[in-house]
Amino acid sequence: MLNLTYPLTIKFKFGVINPQFSVVDGTGRTVAFVKQKAFKLREDISVFQDEAMTQVRYRIKADRWLDYNASYQFTDGEGRDLGRLVRKGARSFWKAAYELYDEGGKQDLLIQEDNGWVKVADSLFSEIPFVGLLAGYFFNPKYNITRPDGTKVAVFSKKPDLISRAFEMEKLAGFEEGEEVRIILGTMMMVLLERNRG
């Protein structure tokens, strides 16, 4: 997933049982496709080149079946370690927080929800008949992606939409080696986890 044109958009397929989404770059080119397997106790996600699902580019694998403080390992198609995503359980109850680590085990990025109240409002209003249909248009969480020194490198946010779910990533700074792949794989996994939480 190199030489990408931003913004990137994650588009979920509508009307399917298992979550499926494609990642499309700013030129409209599909750069990745994910289909989550049903009834897996431990997440093991294949990231394909495209919807044909013939070539696995990356894998994301959980280290445990309970997702409280779970770690999600990233590897390429040949099994080489690319880093991992760690969900910070206690902090995630209010505002979602995830740490990204490089292949050497050093934390190099943080993904943190901008405003916890958006998730609360979305959950409350989505349960009200008719009003709930509009919740997806007005309440859209945003996640800031920063380095430990506070440098904001990207913003990941849900796009206003009445029916389907789509997310967009804007690049705000140049990426260091390995960061781009970790950010994209990390936000893919995060969006699946947050989707399950509502």
Local confidence pLDDT in tens for the 198 residues of the chain: 568 999 999 998 877 778 889 999 999 999 999 988 765 656 789 999 999 999 999 999 988 765 566 799 999 999 999 999 998 765 555 578 899 999 999 999 999 988 655 565 555 555 555 555 555 555 678 899 999 999 999 999 988 766 667 899 999 999 999 999 999 999 999 988 877 554
Three-class secondary structure of residue 122 per DSSP? helix
Strands (E) in 25-80, as ranges, are 30-35, 44-48, 56-62, 71-76
Assigned token pair, 164:
């389907």
**Homologous superfamily of 8-197 in CATH?**
LURP1-related (2.40.160.200)
Which amino acid makes up residue 162? L
Report pLDDT for 122. 57
Report pLDDT for 46. 92
Structure-token match 């904001």, residue found:
152
pTM, whole model, 2 decimals?
0.84
Partnered with residue 144 across adjacent β-strands are 112, 155
Backbone angles phi and psi of 37, in degrees to 5: -80, 145
Report pLDDT for 22. 94
Report pLDDT for 198. 47
